[in-house]
Amino acid sequence: MFKAAINAELLKDALAALAVIVDEVRFKIKPEGISVKAVDPANVAMGIFELGSSAFDEYSADESEIGIDLNKITDLLGIADKSDTVRMELEEENHKLLIDVGGLSYTLSLLDPSTIRAEPRVPQLELPAKVVLNGADLRRAVRAAEKISDHMLMGVSGDTFFMEAKGDTDQVRLEMGRDQLIDLKAGEACSLFSLDYLTDIVKPTNKVNEVTLSLGRDFPVLIDFEIANGAGRISYLLAPRIESD
Amino acid sequence: MFKAAINAELLKDALAALAVIVDEVRFKIKPEGISVKAVDPANVAMGIFELGSSAFDEYSADESEIGIDLNKITDLLGIADKSDTVRMELEEENHKLLIDVGGLSYTLSLLDPSTIRAEPRVPQLELPAKVVLNGADLRRAVRAAEKISDHMLMGVSGDTFFMEAKGDTDQVRLEMGRDQLIDLKAGEACSLFSLDYLTDIVKPTNKVNEVTLSLGRDFPVLIDFEIANGAGRISYLLAPRIESD
Amino acid sequence: MFKAAINAELLKDALAALAVIVDEVRFKIKPEGISVKAVDPANVAMGIFELGSSAFDEYSADESEIGIDLNKITDLLGIADKSDTVRMELEEENHKLLIDVGGLSYTLSLLDPSTIRAEPRVPQLELPAKVVLNGADLRRAVRAAEKISDHMLMGVSGDTFFMEAKGDTDQVRLEMGRDQLIDLKAGEACSLFSLDYLTDIVKPTNKVNEVTLSLGRDFPVLIDFEIANGAGRISYLLAPRIESD
């Protein structure tokens, strides 16, 4: 059993953050909320998604697992107004999700969860440095780096967080000191990341006040932030690139 | 003789509603206003268009018939400001329409009306059910149906108006009861329509408060609404599709 | 030595006006400001660009010449906010321009000026007629002409400035009398210009209050206007087209 109601824009934003990683998703539904763990097809980025029951206007659920094509549901939500309420109800016996929004009733066929890649194991990493910054600052640096290169260094040196991209002839660097950051835990950290992935991952951070980056030396970065006004959380784990030249 | 002045946005909206059906149009000009009857090249949709002289700031005309390429005139109006006045004058002897708008003077060659398909005969139909609803509601349902299928049922069942689209796996349905509609005349009605056509036809209804649908059982739908603040009217007659599977 | 600070939007607008003519530019830097003279690859249009030191918040410079790829710098400024300050500093020894904007530090490799086409000689022309008009009026007429043809007449006849485009069947004409213009110096003038070029040239005039056109009979047109709130100036010289048919 699963029956819930939630604000349309909040749901749209949450699903957009997930769509960065995968199109077809196994949602784990529990009485305390919904969660997803997914890896992108190339095994470079992982998304860990949690949306607690308090994010919903109404929520009642047993344990179950459903498979959803995010593109379909995003398409449908595109027609909703921001302030619309989305009502969802699971029809377990015939594998349908009933969605009601803006007077329209959708009947969505669910995917068989067993056809979707299984939940990955989340690695336990020791990431010595931690940086908390504004999402818009992060996104701006990534957009600037894209103009120059297809990969980008991120690291912490002393009390300074830096991002840097080098092209054939040009270069861009952002440095933020302790006073420009929301928080900084110093630690030796410097890793190179693919901008293909970072560009997508930082898109949903644009409206986010506090994004936390956890970094190491040639280690993955953990990028995480709250969604749904604190009632949910999304974490991305992005593997480093080996220095190319 | 034909000489008239009209608000640019009003003319633009009226012509856009007509352009849904055809590109080249025979305008019938009379002392009491302008009218068009046209069928789309595939004979699926008909448009009946009337713009009374009261829609114009100035209007004086004898009877005449002129052929116009709507794309050209729409292009020119695209440069006008919403509040601009469009002045038109027919130069009968050399088949030109003089258009003055925003300080620019256009001389447009007219098409020979005899090269444009003749006015169709408008069939007399007995359409038992009638529904009056807000144009934005209609457009939303059509946009939702497009996500799912390429055709859509519209009908009346008891005191409920419904629109429904079924895809291979998914389905969307809108039901509106008497209290959600502006008006309803109950009657047995259920027909299937091509969304290719409906999508275009409902585009101009987005700003329209009251759209009237007249429906029957496997019969055409008549969609009509006022334009030019009530000084004109456009009606579309759309043939039903035979149930495909 | 060159070190300067300037408002990001002002710089963006100035460079956009220049990019109409060429992509790779030789900037002449002097203590009193920056200047460029450039011809488009087809030798049809020339741009003469001056940005005085008073356009800058800070400015100190010796004489030097640098080569810049406008696309690169425009790309980078695209990320800046309108109110950001752009700080630039020349690293002469290694041919780099350091650009600081919105917390991001760019290191841009300069082009070797000797690889960029040399400054053209600006011809001395006697253009008898002069028209001063609002940039938005000019742009509107050019946009209207584009709908009809690929070239456009501009001229002065008596006390009237006119622009006219003739297509195969249609025609558009703008006439502005002395009272609709900001200023007019009468003189016999009528020349035909390519709309390919005019379209690009008038794009930056859209926000400009006063654009001066100097015209002759089958002579180039000189289009010029202030940039940077009067602290700079751009002039375009566009060759006439020979009447085609």
Residue-wise pLDDT for B40-65, tens only, equals 999 999 999 999 999 999 999 999 99
Distance (Å, rounded) from C-alpha A84 to C-alpha A243? 47
Q: Inform me whether the C-beta atom of residue A79 falls under 8 Å from chain B C-beta atoms.
A: yes
pLDDT at C215 over 70: yes
**What six digits make up the tokens of A183?**
């928080």
Q: Which helix (H) or strand (E) holds C70?
A: helix C70-77
Asked if B109 lies within 8 A of C170 by C-beta distance, the reply is: yes
Select the residue of C103, C104, C108 nearest A170 (Cβ to Cβ).
C108
Closest CA to B32 of B3, B61, B64: B61
SS3 of C69, please?
strand
pLDDT at B95 over 50: yes
Q: Choose from C139, C169, C206 for mutation: most chain B CBs within 10 A.
A: C169
**What six digits make up the tokens of C107?**
């290191």
Q: What is the pLDDT of residues B181-229, one digit of tens each?
A: 999 999 999 999 999 999 999 998 888 999 999 999 999 999 999 998 8
Q: What is the pLDDT of residues A3-62, one digit of tens each?
A: 999 999 999 999 999 999 999 999 999 999 999 999 999 999 999 999 999 999 999 999
In contact, A15 and A22? CB cutoff 8 Å: no
pLDDT at A186 over 70: yes
B165: closest chain A residue by CA: A106
pLDDT at C245 over 80: no
C96: closest chain A residue by CA: A170
Q: Inform me whether the C-beta atom of residue A42 falls under 8 Å from chain B C-beta atoms.
A: no
Ordered strands of the C221-227 beta sheet: C64-69, C24-30, C33-39, C45-52, C232-238, C221-227, C211-215, C129-133, C183-185
Select the residue of A79, A103, A108 nearest B170 (Cβ to Cβ).
A108
Q: Inform me whether the C-beta atom of residue C118 falls under 8 Å from chain A C-beta atoms.
A: no
Amino acid letter for position A43: N
ipTM comes to 0.87
Phi and psi of C159, rounded to 5°?
-100, 25
Alpha carbon of C107: minimum distance to chain A alpha carbons (Å): 5
Averaged pLDDT, A86-107: 95
| Residue pairs spanning B and C at CB distance below 8 A | 39
User: In chain C, what residues touch A169 (CB-CB under 8 Å)?
Assistant: 108-109
User: In chain C, what residues touch A140 (CB-CB under 8 Å)?
Assistant: 79, 102-104
In contact, C13 and C204? CB cutoff 8 Å: yes
Alpha carbon of A72: minimum distance to chain B alpha carbons (Å): 8
pLDDT at A245 over 80: no
Asked if A79 lies within 8 A of B180 by C-beta distance, the reply is: no
Domains along the sequence of chain B with CATH? 2-115 (3.70.10.10), 129-238 (3.70.10.10)
Distance (Å, rounded) from C-alpha A239 to C-alpha A237? 7
User: In chain A, what residues touch B140 (CB-CB under 8 Å)?
Assistant: 79, 102-104
pLDDT at B243: 64
Distances (CA, A) of B233 to B35, B47, B206: 10, 10, 15
Chains touching B (at least 3 CB pairs under 8 A) are A, C
Distance (Å, rounded) from C-alpha B115 to C-alpha B109? 14
pLDDT at B219: 96
Q: Inform me whether the C-beta atom of residue C117 falls under 8 Å from chain B C-beta atoms.
A: no
Q: Where are the beta strands (DSSP E) in B119-170?
A: 129-133, 151-157, 160-166
- Report the 10 Å Cβ neighbour count for B123: 8
- Give the contacts of A48 (CB within 8 A, at least 6 positions apart): A35, A36, A37, A122, A224, A234, A235, A236, A237
Q: Choose from A133, A134, A142, A148 for mutation: most chain C CBs within 10 A.
A: A148
Amino acid letter for position A195: L
Select the residue of C72, C75, C79 nearest A140 (Cβ to Cβ).
C79
Q: Choose from B77, B105, B111 for mutation: most chain C CBs within 10 A.
A: B105
Q: Mean pLDDT across chain C, nearest whole number?
A: 94
Averaged pLDDT, B82-97: 95
Q: Choose from A68, A75, A98, A105 for mutation: most chain B CBs within 10 A.
A: A105
Alpha carbon of A187: minimum distance to chain B alpha carbons (Å): 50
Select the residue of A79, A103, A106 nearest B170 (Cβ to Cβ).
A106
